[in-house]
Amino acid sequence: MKKFLIGAVIVIALLAGVGGLVIGGLAYKTAFENQAVTAVNVEVETDLSEVAGYTPDAEAGDTVVELQSELQGGNTKLMWETGKIQAGSRYDFDGTWTSLGGAVVYNPEAGAIKALQVVIVIESFNQYGSEHPAPGGMINVVIGKGTPPPTGFDPWFNVADHPNATFSANEFVAKADGVTTEFENAPEGWTHLIKGTFDLNGVEKALALPAVVAFDGDALTIETNFQISRAEFGVEPKSPLPGSTVDDIIDLTAAFTAKPDAGVEIGALSSQILDQNTKLVAQEKMIADLSNQLSIISETLSSLERKVASGVGPATTAVDVDSLAKTYTDEVKYPGKDAIPFEMVLVPGGDDVGPFYMAKHEVTWQMFYDWAYSSDIDANESSQLQAKNLRPSPLYEDCNQLKLGLGKRPALSMSRTTAEAFAKWVSEQTGKTYRIPTDAEWQHALKLGGGVPDTKEELFAQAVFIDNAEIQFDPPFLELTDIVGTKKPNALGIHDMIGNAAEWVVDTAADRVVRGGHFMLNADEFTAAWKGVEDQEIWNETYPQLPVSKFWYRDHYYQGIRLVADVQ
């Protein structure tokens, strides 16, 4: 393993495979502007007295600079890139560690570095780029937040037992002093070897990093490339998934520029990180609480508007249902692709709801995928829409939903925020207003359609559930959703209201609710009253970042979308 490094501004980029790649500052900045940063409430301690050969009694002219992640407002960047081969295709993954600390001691007059220590908070791992259809999946491979073997990947790092990794160096040898060793992926024109130890996963190894070291007045800059091998640090480079392998080697690139700051004291780093992350998590929770309260108010107003418009409620004129079309077909279209049609079925009104149209099928991945991954727009527009909750960030590969099949199977795992944003997009595409059904509308349609079958034979005919779901027999042995419309429709001609994917509804007060059951339920769990109530702590229990995603659920991935439209 080679090491990473350093001083006033460290940049470390891990690059996958053999050959390494230096990411330019502009590309790096743009990439991170489009991503949320991981917040990890972990204290980082730096103790230069542990660096062999260094004594706290600095010589005249020695300068001490504290290191802190640039993404926490500090002076240091620590980046990575790695990759994997899956189904014959190679995918590279880029990202960063967002929480780290450390210090460097150097003497600008003598042009010498005296000591260096960097502590990385492994769990603050964040990913920002990949060509893989589910780019977030490598986070779980790296920090062990994913499904463990035999159905998942071995993690790169043992976060539970060794949450931090520490690089310490006290020997800096100029290449001009007779260093002749050649290093793969060394930075061009490297000037020094930085020698020290890297403690990772409880394994300590001696490392020598080729680096470009330069002094400019009182500022120090260092740039280095290096590799780490997970096999050398106690993790076997294997994957149980057939045809899928994860790189054993990660190539890294580090660059750093530092100027002393007289106002920064060694030892203040841990409290700064702790305070910043605590405040961030508290702010995110406050924002989420306010968002939920506004959502409840908005739902109440929308419900009243719908009742007035549909003839249910005071001072309205009833809609003539007989004059309405029993069905109609609409479509969405992505650039360069064929239009995707979807059919709507009239649902007559009742005591509590007016007439409305309900989609014959649940929204499929075919209809949803390009929107969810923003393949129809550029990265800048996607980033802006994500900030407004109008497009989701990518979901995580190991959430299982992509393993359940795409195409005409129901789209899964999205939050209600994502479901409502998709309905808004469909409305913009078609010029007709589509939305998520209210709870009353959904239950009314279920009742008119015949309700939940009262025999197991009829349930088999209408619903996809655990007893009749398609099985993927290759590891990891998953039950699958079915292609929409495969099962028998209900009396209204609507498919899969029971089973397959559970479906989001609105007008449910403080709770966010899905209805209809899903493909992982047993036959005796299907009732008209069944509902799943969103629980962020349970539905995203193993989500690898804080704050957790507001667009997707990692642990509860059984819910999908069914669209409705008001009569006109």
| pLDDT value, residue 55 | 58
Q: Determine the 3-state secondary structure of 276 from DSSP.
A: helix
What 8-state DSSP symbol labels residue 310?
H
Residues 347 and 259 in one domain: no
φ, ψ for residue 24 (rounded to 5)? -65, 155
In the beta sheet, which residues pair with residue 65?
Answer: 104
Residues 268 and 328 in one domain: no
Residues 243 and 362 in one domain: no
Report how many domains make up the chain.
2
The whole-number average pLDDT for the span 426-449 is: 96
* pLDDT 10s digits, 363-411: 999 999 999 989 899 888 988 898 888 999 887 654 455 667 788 999 9
Residues 100 and 242 in one domain: yes
Final residue in a domain of this structure, among 251, 274, 297: 274
Q: Which of 73-82, 136-145, 165-174 is the most confident on average? A: 165-174
Residues 145 and 197 in one domain: yes
Residue 9 reports pLDDT greater than 50: no
Residues 416 and 527 in one domain: yes
Residues 383 and 472 in one domain: yes
Banded model confidence at residue 85, pLDDT cuts 50, 70, 90: confident
Residues 254 and 378 in one domain: no
Residue 532 reports pLDDT greater than 90: yes
* pLDDT 10s digits, 258-303: 766 544 444 444 445 455 555 665 666 666 666 666 766 766 676 6
Final residue in a domain of this structure, among 213, 248, 274: 274
Residue 384 lies in a domain: yes
Final residue in a domain of this structure, among 217, 244, 274: 274
Residues 492 and 392 in one domain: yes
Residue 12 reports pLDDT greater than 60: no
**Domain range for 106:** 12-274
Residue 296 lies in a domain: no
Report which secondary-structure segment, H or E, holds 160: none
Window from 7-21, 138-152, 382-396 with minimum mean pLDDT: 7-21
d(CA 182, CA 119): 27
| Three-state SS annotation for 430-459 | HCCCEECCEHHHHHHHHHHCCCCCCCHHHH
Residue 165 lies in a domain: yes
d(CA 377, CA 307): 36
Q: How far is CA 463 from CA 179, 450, 455, in A?
A: 71, 13, 12
Banded model confidence at residue 327, pLDDT cuts 50, 70, 90: very high
Residues 340 and 250 in one domain: no
Q: Which of 43-52, 93-102, 375-384, 513-522 is the most confident on average? A: 513-522
Which CATH number is 230's domain given?
A: 2.40.128.110
| pLDDT value, residue 28 | 28
Banded model confidence at residue 561, pLDDT cuts 50, 70, 90: very high
Omega cis (within 30) before 187: no
| pLDDT value, residue 302 | 66
Residue 442 lies in a domain: yes
* pLDDT 10s digits, 149-162: 444 556 677 777 88
d(CA 566, CA 328): 13
